[in-house]
Amino acid sequence: MQTDSSFTFVLFGGTGDLSMRKILPALYEAHRAGGMLADSGKIVAVARHVADRADYLEWVNEHVKPHVSKNGVDETAWASFLDRIEFVKIDLGKAEDFALLRDALSGRPGIRVFYLATGPSLFVPICRALASVGLNENSRIVLEKPLGYDLKSSNAINDAVGEIFAEEQIYRIDHYLGKEPVQNLLALRFGNVLFEPLWRREWVESIQITIAEELGVEARGDFYDNTGALRDMVQNHLLQLLSIVAMEPPHSMDSDSVRDEKLRVLRALKPIDPRDIGKVAVRGQYHSGVIRGSAVPAYATEPGVKPDSTTETFVAVKVEIENWRWAGVPFFLRTGKRLADRVAEIVVNFRAVPHSALGASALRGGANRLVIRLQPNETIRLYCLAKQPGEGMNLASVHLDLAFDRFFREGQMEAYQRLLLDVINGRLALFVRRDEQEAAWRWVEPILDEWAASHKPPKPYAAGTWGPAAASAMLAQHDTCWLEEEN
Ligand code: BG6
């Protein structure tokens, strides 16, 4: 991916957690790899609590370096990476400070990227201040989630940003879309003839998409307590994964062809009737428990969390898609903090054979199953039945295993690295378009409203388990179970 297009990457929130853990390490990796970033490309960090460039570089050395590269830091590359970094001290509350930024950016070649790694309440003031000094021309703006709290607040941000930047200048990040295995899902579906004929209601019984985390809310208790798992993970990451699993083949991989198809799925999600929410959505909150041998505290005692909080740290929800391909096929989405394992995977359960001459075991649903493991250890497994060796015709489950690290030893790219390169190079396909975001909010809102109105507390689950039992009961109603319950 050679490039010679120059850029200036302006990082608002330059000393924030995201800059430290994700953005600067990703830019370093792209720099170290060579040929991905134009030599003349610069990073301009914007922060308030840092005196000057020397101070900022000290902060970068101290805080960013430990997050860089699993394989150790290449000191030569690190030194030349620091040469790319400049610094402008701006108080984001003072619109007049933006003249400093305008002066610092004037006369530079190439595109300007403004990355807003700040709280969402600053998105609109920053955009307005940029426009007031003419910096909205020849530029792209990157917005981190959460983009709003509900449809109304997300529309308010999008309307205000949309008055300043055209939609094709706006890059809404959902980092799940930058993950290598998610890209691979597109390759698997649309690069092969094998799966597509089966990828429909006639042959698929149900689909599960799980993003399970062992971590709790870490230092983000304050933020999380006002957010909850539905807004934090379902409205964005899980619905985006669902749309990629369920979309029709796009006619090309250009930005709008892919996003149009994803949008069609999001618009076809069957609206949830508030009266059914108890049947199709489960929310939970973790209590204390044990994860990998260590005791962990209850959510309600985490710093920043209200002791009587009713915020959900777990959601399982049944989704249906109202179109010819998927009508009647349940998609079960699930996510939670402090669960038994860290795993993100998509499970496609195929239907049983219509008639078995080989005995009852061949009539079991789920005998054919595709398991796409997104993380950790990216693999794709195709489960089939085979004859057990020996006398008689006894069937047993076996699988074909595709472990990507066996085929591709090098070249894996972190999500943020891919997405930042896409922004710099003007590729929008992996960013969420406004209409997609609206459709996703529209679908989750009745659940949010009903939960808020019901005043019922979330169901408790012990940390280190797979969430409330009700999540299993919901699948049992469809004669199925979560993948880990099979084993
Ligand atoms: C973020 C959420 O978007 O995704 C976090 O805000 C969550 O709460 C994270 O932990 C999970 O991402 P990943 O890439 O670690 O699975």
Query: pLDDT tens digits, residue range 264-308?
Result: 999 999 999 999 999 999 999 999 999 999 999 999 999 999 999
Q: Which of 49, 63, 67, 237 is catalytic?
A: 237
Q: What are the tokens at 120?
A: 């969402």
- Best residue among 232, 234, 241 to mutate for probing ligand 1, ranked by most atoms within 8 Å of CB: 232
Where residue 405 falls among pLDDT bands split at 50, 70, 90? confident
Task: State the Cα–Cα distance between residues 217 and 338, nearest whole angstrom.
Answer: 9
Whether the pLDDT of residue 359 is over 80: the answer is: no
- Which of ligand 1's atoms lies nearest the C-alpha of 237? 3
| Alpha carbons 29 and 22: distance in angstroms, whole number | 11
| Closest listed residue to residue 80, CA positions, set 115, 22, 33 | 33
The mean pLDDT of 142-154, rounded to a whole number, is: 92
Q: Amino acid identity of 42?
A: K
pLDDT category at 1 given cuts 50, 70, 90 is very low
Q: What's the pLDDT at 3?
A: 55
Residue 263 and residue 433: Cα distance in Å, rounded? 9
> How long is the chain?
487
Query: Which amino acid belongs to residue 247?
Result: M
- Is residue 385 scored above 70 in pLDDT? yes
Q: Going by CA atoms, what residue is nearest to atom 15 of ligand 1? A: 213
In which element (H, E) is residue 348 found? strand 343-350
Listed by start position, the domains of the chain span: 7-144, 177-413+428-486
Kindly report, residue by residue over 417-445, the tens digit of the pLDDT.
999 999 999 999 999 999 999 999 999 99
| Cα–ligand 1 centroid distance for 463 (angstroms) | 18
3-state class (DSSP) for residue 385: strand
Distance 212 CA to ligand 1 centre (A): 10
Check whether 362 has a pLDDT greater than 70.
no
**Residue-wise pLDDT tens digits, 332-352:** 999 999 999 999 999 999 998
| Cα diameter, the chain | 84
CA of 341 to the centre of ligand 1 (A): 14
Nearest residue (by CA) to ligand 1, atom 5, is: 232
Q: What is the pLDDT of residue 487?
A: 65
Q: Closest Cα to atom 6, ligand 1: which residue?
A: 232
- Compute the distance between CA of residue 75 and CA of residue 172 in angstroms, rounded to an integer: 33
Q: Which atom of ligand 1 is nearest to the CA of 224?
A: 8
C-alpha of residue 370 to centroid of ligand 1, in Å: 24
What average pLDDT does the structure give for the chain? 93
**Cα 330 from Cα 311, distance rounded (Å):** 26
Give the integer Cα–Cα distance in Å for 136 and 127: 8
Compute the C-alpha angle 448/454/459, nearest 5°: 80
Query: Residue 256 C-alpha to ligand 1 middle, in angstroms?
Result: 26
* pTM of the entire predicted model: 0.95
Q: For residues 201-220, give the mean pLDDT.
A: 95
Question: In angstroms, rounded to a whole number, what is the distance separating the alpha carbons of residues 105 and 102?
Answer: 5
Which is higher by pLDDT, 81 or 96?
81
Say whether pLDDT at 260 is over 90.
Answer: yes
Provide the annotated binding site for NADP(+): 48, 91-92, 145
Catalytic residue list contains 237: yes
Task: Work out which ligand 1 atom sits closest to the CA atom of 146.
Answer: 6
Span 213-231, average pLDDT? 93
For the record, the structure tokens of 399 come out as 């699988």
Residue-wise over 183-205: b if at least 16 C-beta within 10 A, else e?
bbbbebbeeeeeeeeebeeeebb
Determine the atom of ligand 1 nearest the C-alpha atom of 145: 3
Q: For the residues 81-98, what does the mean pLDDT come to?
A: 91
Residue 4 has pLDDT above 80, yes or no: no
Taking residues 15-30, what's their average pLDDT?
94
**Residues of the chain above pLDDT 90, percent:** 80
Cα–Cα–Cα angle for 123, 423, 334, nearest 5°? 75
Q: Which residues contact 174 (CB under 8 A, 6 or more apart)?
A: 145, 236, 237, 240, 431, 432
Report the CATH number of the 7-144 domain: 3.40.50.720
Give the Cβ contact number of residue 67 at 10 Å: 13
Give the closest residue (by CA) to ligand 1 atom 9.
Answer: 233
Q: Is 213 in the pocket of ligand 1 (CB under 6 A)?
A: yes
Ligand 1 atom 13, closest CA = 176
* Nearest partner of 150 among 410, 485, 440, 470, judged by Cα: 440
- Alpha helices (H) in 309-414, listed in sequence order: 404-407
Superfamily of domain covering 177-413+428-486:
Dihydrodipicolinate Reductase; domain 2 (3.30.360.10)
**CA end-to-end distance (rounded Å), the chain:** 42
Q: Name the band, by pLDDT with cuts 50, 70 and 90, for residue 406.
A: confident
CA–centroid distance, residue 213 to ligand 1 (Å): 8
For 366-391, b where at least 16 C-beta lie within 10 A, e where not — what string? bbbbbbbbbeeebbbbbbebeeeeee
Q: What pLDDT does residue 2 have?
A: 46
Q: Is the CB of 29 under 6 A from ligand 1?
A: no
Mean pLDDT, residues 383-402 taken together: 89
User: From atom 2 of ligand 1, which residue's Cα is the shortest distance away?
Assistant: 232
Task: For residue 319, report the phi and psi dihedrals to the nearest 5 degrees.
Answer: -120, 140
Contacts of 114 (CB under 8 A, 6+ apart): 10, 12, 126, 130, 135, 139, 140, 141, 142
User: What is the position in ligand 1's atom list of the atom closest to the CA of 174?
Assistant: 3
Question: Same CATH topology for 7-144 and 177-413+428-486?
Answer: no
Binding residues for substrate are 175, 179, 213, 232, 337
What's the rounded mean pLDDT across residues 215-229? 92
Q: Is the peptide bond before 376 cis (omega within 30 degrees of 0)?
A: yes
Q: Is the CB of 232 under 6 A from ligand 1?
A: yes
Q: How far is CA 445 from CA 272, 355, 441, 448, 449, in A?
A: 9, 43, 6, 5, 6
